[in-house]
Amino acid sequence: MVVAGSVKFLQWSSLLSSWKGVAFSTFGLAVVTGLMQVLILFSQAERSNPAKVAPAKPKNKEEQPKAINDKQQ
């Protein structure tokens, strides 16, 4: 549906019938492509630094020696 609408718009506007229209369309496509590349780079930069999680503390201090004793046996 979007493709059909785009084709109808290009036929109606005669945008690609002159070199000026072709240059305008190419420039617009280049701007959109550059903007998408920048947005992709920024979204990857946020995910590349994972948050450091502090180690979990045992709820009960009595459980810790038991775990250590289990590992030694």
Residue 36 maps to a domain:
yes
pLDDT, greater one: 70 or 18: 18
Residue 38 maps to a domain:
yes
pLDDT digits 0-9 by tens, 23-71 = 999 999 999 999 999 998 888 765 556 667 777 776 766 555 555 555 5
CA 67, distance to chain mean position in Å, is: 43
- Cβ-based neighbours of 64, under 8 Å, separated by 6 or more: 58
Taking the C-alpha atoms of residue 24 and residue 20, their distance in angstroms, rounded to an integer, is 6
Element (H, E) at 45: helix 19-47
pLDDT at 57: 74
CB 48 within 8 A of CB 54: no
Domain total of the chain: 1
Domain of residue 33 covers 18-48
Q: pTM for this one? A: 0.50
Residue 32 maps to a domain:
yes
